[in-house]
């Protein structure tokens, strides 16, 4: 541990004496690399450009925007050293709840006939609120009972899926108002994703909330002794993650113009994958929203590229699994090297 860094020290702190490359840079290079590989393969096998196709790129980013919204919350959870497996089910549950108060009076089989044609803010608020509540319960379980986050959110994952099926006895909810559907149209989901990303990028980097989040992930004991109310903070972090999953549920329903109990299945894994690919360490204390945004886009490019090359969907899943494992292996390797250094 007695490295020469200390020995060579100047005796005073010189800010910025050593400029370090932001860690996102290498992830960004990976993204560029993958895109270029597709570009070359595209010309060889399909006879067209992968990148010079704005329509494809738009579809690609739209496909992952919802995952990205979830991943912004998951990133914060993972920075504290936790995990959230419930986000996919929370998407399904909040999609159902919000859609049920977003139906138009013109729809003959409205779930709540007296609650039709409401302004869009009501279903959006309900979806986000239900997500927040689910996350708050996760946080309470983890902070108060000290059960591992894996188990607490696994329970929420199963229960929330059950609630979404129970809510309409498995029936889809359709006939949603134009106003509600609007946030799912065009480029809006991407805008929601980017706004969310910017907000929490700022929150993590420049607010006390962010500093405490990293501190808890780096060393929870030290964080507690430094006066941080660890329990209260964890509840906040999980509630935010739930809220963002709720927002993702609203966007999913609006985009599909309908809600089904099976929405969002496996989204939690995609969100975790995007986070980990983006450089957030599963051991906690390390990670940035910018990395997660790039990780999300990498996921999108991978999927879109496979479709572009007409690779079978089965292979896509197999490769996605490998990439997730590879990202974690790289992280473990990085941690080990760090300790040796």
Partner 1 sequence: MTLSPTTMAAVRASGAVPNAEYLLNVEGIRKEFPGVVALDDVSFRLRRGTVHALMGENGAGKSTLMKILAGIYTPDKGEVRLKGADIRLKSPLDALENGIAMIHQELNLMPFMTVAENIWIRREPKNRFGFVDHGEMRRITARLFDRLKIKIDPEIEVRHLSVANRQMVEIAKAVSYESDVLIMDEPTSALTEREVAHLFEIIRDLRSQGIGIVYITHKMNELFEIADEFSVFRDGKYIGTHASSEVTRDDIIRMMVGREITQMFPKEEVPIGNVMLSVNNLTLDGVFRDVSFDVRAGEILGIAGLVGSGRSNVAETLFGVTPASSGTIAIDGKTVSIDSPNTAIRNRMAFLTEDRKDTGCLLILDVLENMQIAVLQDRFVKGGFVAEKDITAACEEMSRKLRVKTPNLQERIENLSGGNQQKVLIGRWLLTNPRILILDEPTRGIDVGAKAEIHRLVTELARNGVAVIMISSEMPEVLGMSDRIMVMHEGRVTGILDRAEATQIKVMELAAS
Q: From the list 97, 212, 238, 308, which residue makes contact with partner 1 (rule: CB under 8 A)? A: 212
Secondary structure of residue 315 in the 3-state scheme: helix
Per-residue binding string, partner 1, 281-310, x by CB under 8 A, is: ----xx------------------------
Q: How far is the CB of 8 from partner 1 (least distance, A)?
A: 7
Q: Per CB under 8 A, does 13 bind partner 1? A: yes
CB 293 within 8 A of CB 222: no
Q: Distance between CA atoms of 191 and 77, rounded to whole angstroms?
A: 23
> Which range of residues in 2-10, 57-65, 70-78, 181-189 is near partner 1 by CB under 8 A?
2-10
Coil vs helix vs strand at 21: coil
Q: Nearer to partner 1 by C-beta: 4 or 55?
A: 4
Helix or strand holding residue 53 (H, E): none
Residues 20-59 that bind partner 1 (CB under 8 A): 20
CA-to-CA separations, 257 to 95, 119, 251, in angstroms, rounded: 10, 16, 9
Q: Which two tokens stand for residue 123?
A: 């279903």
Pick the piece of the chain touching partner 1 (CB under 8 A) from 8-16, 60-68, 137-145, 317-325: 8-16
Measured from the Cβ of residue 11, the count of other Cβ atoms closer than 10 Å reads 4
Choose between 224 and 320: whose C-beta lies nearer to partner 1.
Answer: 224
User: Cα–Cα distance between 274 and 114 in angstroms, integer?
Assistant: 41
Is residue 239 involved in binding partner 1 (CB under 8 A)? no
The footprint of partner 1 (CB under 8 A) covers 1-3, 5-18, 20, 206-209, 211-212, 214-215, 218-219, 221-229, 285-286, 338, 341
């Amino acid at each position: 541990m007695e490295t020469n860094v200390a020995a060579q020290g100047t005796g005073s702190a010189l800010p910025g004496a050593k400029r370090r490359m932001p860690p996102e840079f290498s992830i960004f290079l990976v993204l560029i690399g993958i895109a270029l590989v597709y570009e070359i393969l595209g010309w060889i096998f399909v006879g067209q450009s992968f990148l010079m196709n704005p329509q494809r790129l738009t579809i690609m980013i739209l496909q992952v925007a919802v995952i990205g919204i979830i991943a912004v919350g998951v990133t914060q959870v993972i920075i504290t050293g936790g995990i959230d497996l419930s986000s996919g089910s929370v998407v399904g549950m909040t999609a159902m709840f919000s859609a049920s108060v977003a139906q138009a009076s013109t729809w003959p089989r409205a779930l709540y006939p007296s609650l039709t044609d409401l302004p869009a803010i009501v279903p959006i608020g309900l979806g986000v609120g239900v997500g927040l509540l689910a996350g708050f319960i996760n946080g309470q379980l983890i902070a108060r009972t000290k059960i591992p986050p894996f188990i607490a959110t696994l329970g929420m994952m199963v229960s929330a899926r059950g609630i979404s099926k129970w809510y309409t006895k498995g029936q889809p909810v359709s006939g949603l108002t134009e106003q509600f559907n609007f946030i799912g149209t065009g480029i809006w989901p991407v805008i929601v994703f980017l706004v969310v990303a910017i907000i929490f990028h700022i929150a993590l980097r420049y607010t006390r909330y962010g500093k405490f989040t990293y501190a808890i992930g780096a060393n929870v004991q030290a964080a507690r002794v430094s006066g941080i109310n660890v329990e209260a903070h964890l509840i906040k972090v999980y509630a935010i993650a739930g809220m963002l999953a709720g927002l993702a549920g609203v966007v999913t329903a609006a985009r599909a113009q309908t809600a089904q109990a099976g929405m969002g299945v496996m989204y939690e894994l995609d969100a975790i994958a995007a986070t980990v690919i983006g450089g957030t360490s599963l051991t906690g204390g390390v990670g940035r929203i910018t990395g997660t945004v790039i990780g999300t886009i990498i996921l999108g490019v991978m999927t879109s590229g496979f479709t572009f090359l007409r690779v079978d969907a089965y292979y896509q899943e197999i490769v996605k699994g490998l990439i997730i494992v590879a990202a974690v292996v790289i992280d473990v390797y990085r941690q080990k090297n760090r300790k040796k250094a």
